[in-house]
Amino acid sequence: MAWTARHGLAQPRVALAYGLLIALGEAIRRRPPPGAGPTEPADTAPVSAAGCIAYALLDGVGGDPVTQGVPQGPQVPQVVAVVLGATLAGAVGRRPAPDRLARRVLHSAFAALCCRALHQLGALAHRPGYGPYHAPALLLLLALTVLCDALVAAALARSRQGGGYATALGERLRALPGLGTAVCATAVVTALAPRVAGLWVLPVCALPLLVIQLSARLGEPAPATRRQTVASLARATEIAGCTPAGHAGRVAALSRAVGRELGLSQEELTVVEYAALMHDVGQLSLVDPVPAGATEPLPPEQRRRIARLGGAVVRQTGVPAEVARVVEHQADPYREAPLAARIVRTVNAYEDLAATGACGPRRALERLRGATAYDHEPGVVEALARVLARQEPPGRAALSALTDAPADAE
């Protein structure tokens, strides 16, 4: 920003056009789902991301090269200044997320540096120039940019949320073939088309991504309603006196941490969290309440009956069928249950044992390890032990995130 202020903004009309495109995409950015964390895999502002990269790759407008005393392209500090300024302008009224803002600036600067290096070395101008290989060269450069962004995002996710780096990187890479491909293609077109058609073509190039972004934003009420339903059912057991205050939230937050430790994807973690929040709703159907809401000391048949009752209730809420399946099978022998159900079963048992005062956390883990022949999978118990060794149980964080999420959850 200081460099640009000192040397002046070269070709301000071009910078303003791309800045407006970036700010528009940022202004209509879709809010991420609550609890997604600061570095969720999917970009919630694809138009803005494409505009940032396109400006970094820009080499000409209306037949004239964009030159500022160098072979091709805007200066890298100017790229950073325009991207940073436009992103902040589009986020007016919302608290910008430092992680996301840093990633946006870093991948734009990386693309600009690589593109300018290729121009200065003559790679794009002489081998074979602006012929049929120019667009593929930009696509290759974009692939490297996206890969670097995924590496940084995975490091940030691991530092904030824990778990393995390979798992976090895998989540980011799995999210790229869909929306990531569309962003890269739009960025290349938006960088090349103005060279021939001028700046007026920018809205046309960005229109497909804009439609996708607006459609995703309009489709948000249904998931929001679903999250409210899940939160209401989770609190209903506490209000009815079936479970201790905060029990569902503690089980959900710890289950999500264990699932992340085991390498589950973002979608699988959401299933685990929802199932953990509603794992005790079957107790609402009981005539005689369970003492202290602790189902772990109950006979196996009674635990399975409560789980089946809970699954029947969950199926009426509109949540994915996989969530109801996890709730139904949480009390089954672990070899017959899906992995998400094993996680919820083990974490709930730990919470019941440690929170009722029957035994402390260390003794609760010992009892879980002693039941790995039938009730608890050894791998899940050890993952729980590693999570507990790194942090304290997160409390009501998961439950409050569903209803009191900030406007900018990234």
Domains of the chain: residue spans and CATH: 2-219 (no CATH), 222-403 (1.10.3210.10)
Give CA–CA dist 16/86, Å, rounded.
Answer: 9
- DSSP lists the bridge partners of residue 65 as 60
Tens-of-pLDDT digits for all 410 residues of the chain? Answer: 888 888 888 888 888 889 898 888 888 775 554 444 444 445 567 888 888 888 888 877 765 555 433 334 457 888 899 999 888 888 776 766 788 888 888 988 888 888 877 766 655 554 444 556 666 777 788 888 888 888 888 888 777 666 667 777 877 787 777 777 788 888 888 887 887 777 888 888 888 877 777 766 665 545 556 677 777 777 777 776 777 778 888 888 899 999 988 888 777 888 898 888 888 887 776 666 666 656 666 777 878 888 888 888 787 776 777 888 888 888 888 888 888 889 998 998 888 888 655 677 788 888 888 888 878 888 998 888 888 887 654 444 444 444 444 434 33
User: What's 288's DSSP letter?
Assistant: S
Distance of CA 294 to CAs 233, 289, 390, Å?
Answer: 17, 10, 26
CA separation for the pair 317, 312 (Å, rounded):
10
Tell me if 46 sits within 8 A of 212, measured CB to CB.
yes
Count of residues making up the chain: 410
**What separation, in Å, do the N-terminal and C-terminal C-alpha atoms of the chain show?**
24
Cβ 20 vs Cβ 86: under 8 Å: yes
With a CB cutoff of 8 Å and minimum separation 6, the contacts of 237 are: 243, 247, 248, 280, 281, 283, 284, 293
Residue 30 backbone zone (phi > 0: left; psi -120 to 50: alpha; other: beta) = beta
8 Å CB contact between 182 and 42: no
